[in-house]
Amino acid sequence: MPVCILAIESSCDETAAAICKDGRILSNVIVNQTIHEKYGGVVPELASRAHLQNIVPGVDEALSTANCQLSTIDAFAFTQSPGLIGALLVGAQFAKSLSLVFNKPLIAVHHMQAHVLSNLIPENKPDFPFLCLTVSGGHTQIVLCEDYLKMKVIGQTLDDAAGEAFDKSAKLLGLPYPGGPLIDKYAQHGDPDKFKFSEPQIDGLNFSFSGLKTAILYFILENKNQNVSFIEENLHDICASIQQRIVTILLNKLKKAAEQTGIKNICLAGGVSANSGLRRCFEETGKQMGWKTFIPPFEYCTDNAGMIAITAYYKYLAGDFAELSISPSARAEW
């Protein structure tokens, strides 16, 4: 009998629902919350309220696109951790209620584990073991994935995430939130070697981006002191130089991880993997190092329920179900 799973993701500001049948994603609906734009960042309370408004239409659309009905779903999955607690609660309660009403198993999924397994959605999947560089607005991790549900974090950021490094740099340049995609856009017409930002010296496979943020702040203040239009006149080159430094910080650690582990199947995941400079350098580095490289399609890189559904599918096969008493958690190890 085929296994059909309905998954819900509500950890931050995307309300998402997806249907997965035997490991194939039949629908992947993402309802974006635009309300946060005017506040320059995600407002947790507003995110929870928007999830409440979006969740029923989002789930309905996921079911109708997949041509499924609630009564034919075999298990209900949700993001249990990490995330904004009020936002997580909406998805968790919704999935629990469906599990109770239809008397079908409940599956709790760790959001970061799901980002890694988003690489198993496309036809062309990495073999185990593989390494995954997960880069998002909240996390920067190198994960060693030995099997579907067996993975460990071997490197992570000690302070800001890569997405925050992009967004905070953009804010210093006066760009709106989230500034990552704008830095990417302007960088495409800039000279990445025009301005030099030093690479932080961090032991092992861990990252740090807070020093870069401070360096950019002083770089802007000093240059604006001499020329008030410095940013406007150099925006493309500044963005290209910042982007190049963030990308080299990420890829130098990834190279180190690949050398240390001897693993050559290397994946990207998370919202920052949309960055065109990172994608290009990742592919070039892969060719130089003899890696097999994998990047999920864009809709599975940013927060989505397809990745929750694929993870839930492997948990279903492993019989890894949750009790109805389970609570979401803002922070939890996997």
Binding site for ligand KG4 (CB under 6 A): 12, 136-138, 163, 166-167, 178, 180-181, 184, 270-272, 274-275, 302-303
Q: Report if residue 113 touches Zn ion, rule: CB under 5 A.
A: no
Count of residues near Zn ion by CB under 5 A: 2
Name the segment binding Zn ion (CB under 5 A); options: 185-193, 259-267, 281-289, 298-306: 298-306
List the single partner that 257 binds among ligand KG4, Zn ion, none, CB under 5 to 8 Å by kind. Answer: none
Check binding of 164 to Zn ion (CB under 5 A): no
By a kind-dependent CB cut-off of 5 to 8 A, residue 178 interacts, out of ligand KG4, Zn ion, none, with ligand KG4
- Kindly tell me which of 136 and 141 has the beta carbon lying closer to Zn ion: 136
Residue 310 contacts residue 114 (beta carbons within 8 Å): yes
Least distance in angstroms from the C-beta of 196 to ligand KG4: 20
Interface region with Zn ion, contact rule CB under 5 A, candidates 174-182, 210-218, 300-308, 323-331 = 300-308
- In the bound state with Zn ion, the residue whose beta carbon lies nearer, of 84 and 240, is 84
Using CB under 5 A, pick the residue from 113, 118, 134, 136 that binds Zn ion.
136
91/105 with CB nearer ligand KG4? 91
Provide, rounded to whole angstroms, the least separation between the CB of residue 278 and ligand KG4: 7
Residue 302 binding target from Zn ion, ligand KG4, none, CB below 5 to 8 Å by type: ligand KG4
- From the list ligand KG4, Zn ion, none, which binds 275 (C-beta under 5 to 8 Å, kind-based)? ligand KG4
What is the Cα–Cα distance from 124 to 297, expressed in whole angstroms?
Answer: 11
- In the bound state with Zn ion, the residue whose beta carbon lies nearer, of 13 and 303, is 303
Nearer residue to Zn ion within complex by CB, 135 or 238: 135
- Residue 275 near residue 243 (C-beta atoms within 8 A): yes
Which residue lies nearest ligand KG4, judged by its C-beta?
A: 271
Q: Which residues bind Zn ion (CB under 5 A)?
A: 136, 303
